[in-house]
């Protein structure tokens, strides 16, 4: 199952969630109505108009109670769900903070936190997505983690203190890879919506407890109405716990198979079953297991391990079954020996492990199947490559990328032109738009690390993203305007400038409005045939110097996309045409996006060679379509084709 199939399944699960939620609400409303009829039905007077039959007479007599029960319960559930969903609109960081998460600072001296940041950054760079915000739940000694958010642009990854202290680097890498799988599979968006929807059901139990505590004094009075209210509060609380039963049932129905898939994806990510299996084994023998001290009922379906003690409708498969799917030879009797071995192991081992090891396996070829299968599940080789690449980044630039005060200036520094006169004009624009202090910071970075290597530019942006999005929204808009101006100052746009501007704009826009981000729509390639033709024509024109080969690669791409053959027409203003086309194509169905990416890779491979401009343009297109393309491997043959500007 590839990225597009997993996203499509997540959309089906969302529809399934809606149906299950409606069913649960109907059952709860019926239960509330029955309780109200039992408590208050006998107090009503006979209606003024006699109904023609028994059922009609019953409805006519009791319609006020049914109206109050059905309308009130439905409204309470709907309003609570809407309120909770609105409180989560800022994305994953909100959930992490509500669970007691503390941000991992870029300059942390704690070796365990530094190791966590390094692992997260390596997997993000290998995957071609921004680095998510990183949190540690300091008060939690159990081994657990979760990823939350609507999209990679607003994602947050949180781990417990027990995870940092109990797992070695390989096991931590397996857990983080598991969480990244949830980000790519569409589970994260589904999970945060599940939190909002199910809060409406859980609110009934909360309301019952509040009413019961508020009228407890009335139980000592002779007020029968007060006693009825107490009985109603008890019934409401009981029905609320029936709602909790339904909530767990829904979460179990949606999430259990996704956990198996995320475990399998983590093995593919790291090429090390021992990592994820080792983490699960440690949960099985750990004194706290994966259970959290803080109330985790709301986010139980998000967690790496079962966060609450719930045998019935557990959100996760049994831990032994998860281990045996990864390590078929494992037997439960081995846990006792594992527990003894762990008691002898020092916590210090985590800080002594190597950052990465050499990749020894044969690299996979660059072909459509490899690209499609690699989306959302970068292999071990790419993770090692990302680790090696991260190790070569200048320390001053990495420090700037992780700093809220310096990240915007680093981004602008990456966009500066090599031509001195044009660079001076760009610096003047920065001073005009963002102030003299920003210009001074850019000049300082220029003096300390220029020129920036081409292979470092995109990884630096991905590392800088968490710091960038913490800046005020008004500043982000000004910064995006500045980026647009300095890119257009020379009247032409290089492919990398287009890539960087597109990635920055897309991720920051999604981060500012996470609930509005989307991975797919309902459109088809056939409906957007002209936009598809423009994208394939622009990609073909950037990949080949020979016009005959441009036409040939265009024809190959069009055929792969399933469109009728037609002569190539390359837009004169390719950045503007590509922007407009990608805006339309982002509304494609997720499986139609798969066909388009496949057609684009076929276009690139017509001459059996891949160049830097093609890769950069492909990654820009993928970003605009909300399809994160993995880090290209260095085996790709490189040649130089002049940009057409």
Residue numbers annotated as active site: 179
Percentages helix, strand, coil for the chain, rounded to the nearest 5?
A: 65, 5, 30
Residue positions counted in the chain: 645
Name residues whose C-beta falls within 8 Å of residue 137's C-beta, 6 or more positions apart in sequence.
99, 100, 101, 102, 144, 158, 159, 160, 161, 292, 294
Secondary structure element (H or E) that encloses residue 398, with its range: helix 395-401
C-alpha closest to that of 598 among 618, 580, 576, 623: 618
Q: Look up residue 514 and give its DSSP letter.
A: G
Residue 569 has a CB neighbour count (10 Å cut-off) of 11
Non-local (6+) Cβ contacts of 253 within 8 A are: 16, 20
The 3-state DSSP class for residue 160 equals strand
d(CA 623, CA 284): 39
Query: Cis before residue 187, ω within 30 degrees of 0?
Result: no
Inter-residue contact 258 to 317 (CB < 8 Å): no
Which pairs from 159-165 meet CB under 8 Å and 24+ separation? 159/116, 159/135, 160/136, 160/292, 161/136, 161/137, 162/286, 162/288, 164/112, 164/113, 164/115, 164/116, 164/136, 164/350, 165/112, 165/347
Measured distance CA(1)–CA(184) in Å, rounded: 12
CB of 606 within 8 A of CB of 538? no
Q: Which residues partner with 102 through β-bridges?
A: 136
Q: Which of 108, 106, 32 is nearest to 70 (CA)?
A: 32
Structure tokens given for 495: 């492919």
For residues 126 and 568, what is the distance between their CA atoms, to the nearest angstrom? 34
- In order, the DSSP letters of 70-108 are HHHHHHHHHHHHHHHHHHTTT-HHHHHHHTTEEE--TT-
DSSP 466-493: HHHTTS-HHHHHHHHHHHHHHHHTTS--
Backbone angles phi and psi of 508, in degrees to 5: -70, -35
Q: What is the DSSP letter of 392?
A: H
Our CA angle for 457, 460, 462, nearest 5°, is: 110
């Amino acid at each position: 199952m590839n990225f597009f199939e997993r996203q499509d399944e997540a959309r089906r699960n969302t529809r399934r969630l809606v149906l299950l939620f409606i069913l649960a609400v109907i059952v709860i409303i019926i239960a509330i109505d029955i309780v109200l009829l039992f408590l208050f039905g006998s107090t009503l007077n006979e209606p003024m108009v006699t109904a023609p039959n028994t059922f009609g007479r019953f409805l006519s007599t009791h319609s006020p109670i049914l109206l109050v029960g059905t309308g009130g319960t439905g409204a309470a559930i709907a309003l609570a769900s809407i309120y909770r969903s609105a409180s989560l609109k800022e994305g994953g960081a909100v959930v992490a903070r509500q669970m007691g998460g503390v941000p991992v600072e870029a300059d942390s001296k704690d070796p365990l936190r530094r190791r966590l940041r390094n692992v997260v950054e390596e997997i993000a760079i290998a995957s071609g997505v921004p680095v998510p915000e990183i949190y540690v739940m300091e008060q939690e000694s159990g081994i657990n983690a979760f990823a939350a958010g609507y999209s990679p642009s607003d994602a947050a990854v949180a781990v417990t203190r027990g995870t940092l202290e109990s797992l070695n680097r390989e096991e931590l890498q397996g857990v983080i890879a598991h969480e990244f799988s949830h980000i790519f599979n569409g589970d994260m968006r589904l999970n945060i919506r599940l939190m909002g929807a199910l809060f409406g059901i859980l609110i009934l139990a909360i309301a019952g407890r509040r009413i019961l505590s508020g009228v407890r004094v009335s139980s000592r009075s002779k007020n029968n109405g007060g006693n009825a209210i107490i009985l109603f509060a008890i019934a409401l609380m009981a029905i609320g716990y029936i709602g909790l039963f339904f909530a767990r049932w829904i979460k179990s129905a949606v999430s259990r198979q996704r956990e198996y898939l995320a475990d399998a994806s983590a093995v593919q990510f790291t090429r090390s079953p021992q990592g994820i299996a080792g983490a699960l084994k440690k949960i099985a023998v750990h004194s706290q297991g994966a259970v959290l001290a803080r109330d985790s009922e709301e986010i139980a379906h998000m967690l790496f391990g079962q966060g609450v003690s719930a045998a019935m409708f557990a959100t996760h498969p049994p831990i032994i079954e998860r281990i045996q799917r990864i390590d078929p030879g494992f037997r439960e009797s081995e846990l006792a020996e594992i527990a003894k071995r762990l008691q002898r192991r020092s916590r210090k081992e985590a800080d002594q492990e190597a950052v990465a090891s050499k990749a020894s396996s044969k690299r996979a070829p660059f072909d459509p199947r490899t690209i499609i299968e690699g989306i959302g599940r970068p292999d071990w080789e790419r993770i090692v490559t990302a680790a090696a690449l991260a190790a070569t980044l200048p320390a001053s630039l990495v420090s700037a990328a992780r700093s809220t005060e310096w990240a915007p200036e680093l981004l602008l520094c990456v966009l500066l032109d090599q031509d001195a006169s044009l660079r001076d004009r760009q610096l003047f624009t920065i001073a005009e738009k963002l102030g003299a202090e920003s210009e001074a910071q850019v000049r300082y970075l220029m003096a300390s690390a220029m020129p920036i290597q081409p292979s470092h530019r995109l990884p630096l942006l991905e590392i800088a993203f968490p710091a960038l999005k913490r800046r005020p929204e008004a500043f982000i808009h000004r910064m995006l305007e500045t980026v647009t101006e300095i890119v257009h100052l020379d009247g032409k746009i290089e492919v990398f400038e287009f890539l960087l501007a597109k990635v920055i704009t897309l991720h920051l826009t999604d981060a500012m409005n996470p609930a509005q981000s989307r991975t797919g729509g309902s459109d088809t390639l056939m409906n957007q045939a002209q936009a598809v033709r423009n994208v394939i024509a622009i990609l073909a024109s950037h990949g080949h110097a020979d016009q005959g080969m441009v036409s040939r690669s265009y024809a190959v791409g069009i055929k792969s996309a399933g469109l009728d053959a037609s002569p190539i027409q390359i837009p004169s203003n390719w950045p503007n045409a590509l922007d407009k086309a990608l805006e339309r194509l982002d509304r494609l169905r997720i499986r139609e996006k798969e066909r388009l990416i496949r057609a684009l890779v076929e276009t690139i491979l017509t001459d059996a060679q891949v160049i830097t401009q093609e890769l950069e343009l492909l990654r820009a297109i993928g970003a605009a379509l909300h399809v994160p393309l993995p880090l290209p491997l260095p085996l790709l043959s490189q040649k130089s084709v002049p940009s057409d500007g």
